Amino acid sequence: MARSLARNDPALYDRLADQWWRPRGPFAMLHWLAAARGALVPRAERPGAVLVDLGCGAGLLAPHLEGKGYLHIGADLSLPSLRRAAEHGVQAVRCDVGAVPLVDGCADVVVAGEILEHVPDLPRALAEACRLLRPGGLLVIDTLADTALCRWLAIDLAERLPGPGRHGFHDPALLVDREVLVEECAAHGVRLKLCGIRPSLIDLLAWSLHRRKSVRMVPVPTTAVLFQAWGRKANRPY
Ligand SMILES: C[S@@+](CC[C@H](N)C(=O)[O-])C[C@H]1O[C@@H](n2cnc3c(N)ncnc32)[C@H](O)[C@@H]1O
């Protein structure tokens, strides 16, 4: 019998590495979120532009960057996941997002999709994201808020849904404090805008009935559960 893993153990992703690209598998919602994240990334402004994808998993963002002109570098701890990412054109780097072996200012865009709620040291991961960004570069984030509602919806309820591999992905203690997020990024020169999102309920119903292949994420008036955040790094000293 497989050893049961602690909450938020990155080995959970190693074990499910063959599930990443299944559109109806345990990572289905990550596909929908990757599409919403990709929509926030503009076409590259220069030849040779670099996008660093922190906690890239198996590279689900890759199809949503196609034709935009970036070299897509993905950083993650999970080697089996990174192997899948490499199959989709991602330049894979195995590392902790708190210590990425890339030079300061190397990235035109840094994305941190569904990773910040997994890191034990949020300020360090944010400092690293901002360090990698060139002045004028864009930071794109989506993550889960540190609220009672989010703990109930995204952990208590979501983990009880039927289906494989849903248990233990999140540690409630690591959900993201939005004030800390905004303040830390501002301290590193990135002023963030936040917008709450959720899956479209009509799409979700149609997807459940196998009438849609994917589910669109739609804006909601609260950032208390799932939200996106984005901002550019100041050009001048801050
Ligand atoms: C929820 S998945 C998100 C994957 C991807 N961003 C996506 O949306 O498809 C979280 C990913 O973060 C990785 N991860 C967790 N903690 C990490 C850390 N401290 N440093 C690097 N990667 C980490 C896991 O291995 C996993 O691939």
Assess whether pLDDT exceeds 50 at residue 89: yes
Strands 70-76 and 49-54, bridge-based pairing: parallel
Instruction: Give me the residues paired with residue 232 across strands.
Output: 138
pLDDT number for residue 49: 98
pLDDT number for residue 229: 98
The CA dihedral of 202, 206, 212, 217, to the nearest 10 degrees, is 30
pLDDT number for residue 161: 77
77 CA to centre of ligand 1 in angstroms:
7
Go through the domains of the chain in sequence order and give each one's CATH number. 11-232 (3.40.50.150)
Q: How confident is the model at residue 102 (pLDDT cuts 50, 70, 90)?
A: very high
pLDDT number for residue 1: 33
29 CB less than 6 Å from ligand 1?
Answer: no
pLDDT number for residue 235: 86
Q: How far is it, in rounded angstroms, from Cα 101 to Cα 143?
A: 23
Residue 174 three-state SS: helix
Assess whether pLDDT exceeds 90 at residue 69: yes
| Encoded amino acid at 163, one letter | G
97 CB less than 6 Å from ligand 1?
Answer: yes
Both tokens of 22, joined, read 């299944």
Assess whether pLDDT exceeds 80 at residue 4: no
pLDDT number for residue 159: 81
25 CB less than 6 Å from ligand 1?
Answer: no
Express each pLDDT in 134-182 by its tens digit: 999 999 999 999 999 999 998 888 887 766 556 778 899 999 999 999 9
Dihedral sign for Cα atoms in the order 188, 191, 196, 197: negative
Q: How far is it, in rounded angstroms, from Cα 232 to Cα 40?
A: 12
29 CA to centre of ligand 1 in angstroms:
14
Query: What mean pLDDT, rounded, does the chain reach?
Result: 94
178 CB less than 6 Å from ligand 1?
Answer: no
Above pLDDT 90, what percent of the chain? 85
* Residue 108 near residue 47 (C-beta atoms within 8 A): no
